[in-house]
Each structure stands twice: as C-alpha cells, then as structure tokens.
C-alpha cells in the first residue's frame, strides 16, 4: 500500500536538515521505521546530502548555520540521482548479480576518511567529551546503549547534543537531539560497520565506531 503520510516530502527534507524536533520528530521516526517506501526515499536523499557534504568537505551532515539549503535545490538533486540510478539499474541489473555475501562484506569495509578522524582530538567546541561508549570497534547486537560524559569549562554538561549514526559510506542512518548522558537506540540496522558522533551546535565533538551484527559466511 502506498505511503499515506501527509506533507511527506517536506518531512523528509526537514528530517535530513535536522529541522524536526520534539513531538513532530518522534511521530516521523515512528512512521519512518515502519514504512519501507519512506525508508527507501530517505536513503536516496541521504546519498544526495552525503555527496553535497563530501563535495564541500563537511565532517558532519548538518549544514553550517549560515548556509541555507532550499528544499527545491535538494529536490532537483534528488531527481537527478533518481534518474541516474534508474538508468544504471535498467542497463546493469541483468548483467550484474552481486551475491548477498559480497554485499554484506562491503558493509564492513572501513571508511578511510572517517578512520583518519577517529584519533583526532576535537577542540572545535567548548564542550569536551571525557568518556564515551560503545568502545571503539565494539561488536554489538540488538539495542545499543550510547553513553558519554561531557564537560564545559570544567563543569558537567548535560546537553543537548546531537547523536548521529553513520554507515561505512558516511551516510547518516540516525540523527537525534539528546539530553543527559545516555541514549538507548532501539531501531534496526543491517549488519555492518558503523560510525557514531556527538555534535554540539552542528560541530563534531566526538567520533567513534562499532560493528553491528555478524558477517554472512562466504560460500
């Protein structure tokens, strides 16, 4: 059954640009995690945003505050990516049949750019993360408990911060504003390598990574 979500395009754009908060954000995520059509459309738009981010050298998916990205600008790019994707599928779908185990293996390949940032000391914000988990490279399954300790000017800082989960292609798969020192993620993720970040006012202040699920055995 086709998706019946009202103002669907606007909600997808607002979610990608971190414009949703509070009850609208919770309602959209409750719908998104159960709607295959919205999930696929969001993945397409995330690829566009990731390409824009890489083109401009952004570390995080959130655009700088002084830079405004219009919905119409994004939608023209979505249309271009969708057209190119359709052509590629038409010409190569019968020629290229990638085994599932190969697709699975690709999800575990490290992202060179993000790997180079893992050991970086983040000094671009007044907020300092002193402890964080999951531990670097930890193997996880099921629900994921993210925990951290943050300080500002030597005093405990309880947020809000933005928690971001990225796949190994540097594409956001989850983004939410959180307060306190922990967040329990109960969404579903395909098996693979993931990176996670904490942001303060759009600036990355911590970057980590974890493995989720198990690789499929090669035949």
**pLDDT at residue 60, as a whole number:** 42
Output the CA–CA distances (angstroms, integers) from residue 67 to 32, 64, 186, 211, in the order listed. 27, 5, 32, 34
Report CA-CA distances (Å) from 218 to 65, 101, 103, 147, 215: 46, 6, 11, 34, 9
Q: Residue 174: what pLDDT?
A: 95
Tell me, rounded to whole angstroms, the distance of Cα 175 from its chain centroid: 6
Distance of alpha carbon 68 from alpha carbon 2, whole angstroms: 31
Residue 53 is predicted with a pLDDT of 55
Distance from chain centroid for Cα 8: 19
Question: What residue spans of 33-183 are helical by DSSP H?
Answer: 36-56, 71-92, 100-106, 112-117
DSSP 44-74: HHHHHHHHHHHHHT-SSSSPPTT----HHHH
Q: What is the dihedral of CA 99, 86, 3, 78, to 10 degrees?
A: 120
- What 3-state DSSP class applies to 213? coil
> Residue 57: what pLDDT?
47
Q: By three-state DSSP, how is residue 161 classified?
A: strand
Q: Helix 36-56 crosses helix 71-92 at what angle (to 10 degrees)? A: 110
Long-range contacts of 52-57 (CB under 8 A, 24+ apart): 52/77, 53/170, 54/170
* Structural domains in the chain, sorted by start: 8-92 (no CATH), 110-212 (2.60.40.1220)
Number of CB atoms found within 10 A of residue 138's CB: 13
Cβ atoms of residues 213 and 130 within 8 Å: no
- Lateral strand order in the sheet of 192-200: 138-140, 203-212, 192-200, 161-167, 172-178
Which ranges of the chain have pLDDT less than 70? 1, 49-104, 119-125, 216-219
pLDDT at 76 (0 to 100): 55
Res 77: pLDDT: 56
**Strand duo 192-200 + 182-185: pairing:** unpaired
pLDDT tens-digit readout, 189-202: 999 999 999 998 88
pLDDT recorded at residue 26 = 80
**What does pTM read for this prediction?**
0.55
Q: How many Å apart are CA 59 and CA 45, to the nearest integer?
A: 18
């Amino acid at each position: 059954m086709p998706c019946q979500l009202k103002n669907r395009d606007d909600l997808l754009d607002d979610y990608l640009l971190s414009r949703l908060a509070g009850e609208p954000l919770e309602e959209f995520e409750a719908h998104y995690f159960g709607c295959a059509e919205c999930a696929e459309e969001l993945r397409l738009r995330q690829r566009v945003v990731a390409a824009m981010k890489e083109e401009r050298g952004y570390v995080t998916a959130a655009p700088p505050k002084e830079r405004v990205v219009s919905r119409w600008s994004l939608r023209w790019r979505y249309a271009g990516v969708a057209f190119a994707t359709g052509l590629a599928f038409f010409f190569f779908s019968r020629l290229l049949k990638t085994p599932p185990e190969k697709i699975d293996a690709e999800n575990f390949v490290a992202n060179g750019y993000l790997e180079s940032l893992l050991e970086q000391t983040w000094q671009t914000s007044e907020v300092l993360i002193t402890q964080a988990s999951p531990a670097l490279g930890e193997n996880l399954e099921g629900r994921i408990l993210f925990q951290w300790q943050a300080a500002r000017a030597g005093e405990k800082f309880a947020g809000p911060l933005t928690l971001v989960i990225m796949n190994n292609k540097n594409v956001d798969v989850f983004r939410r504003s959180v307060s306190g020192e922990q967040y329990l993620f109960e969404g579903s993720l395909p098996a693979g390598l993931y990176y996670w970040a904490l942001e303060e006012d759009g600036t990355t202040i911590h970057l980590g990574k974890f493995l989720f699920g198990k690789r499929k055995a090669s035949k």
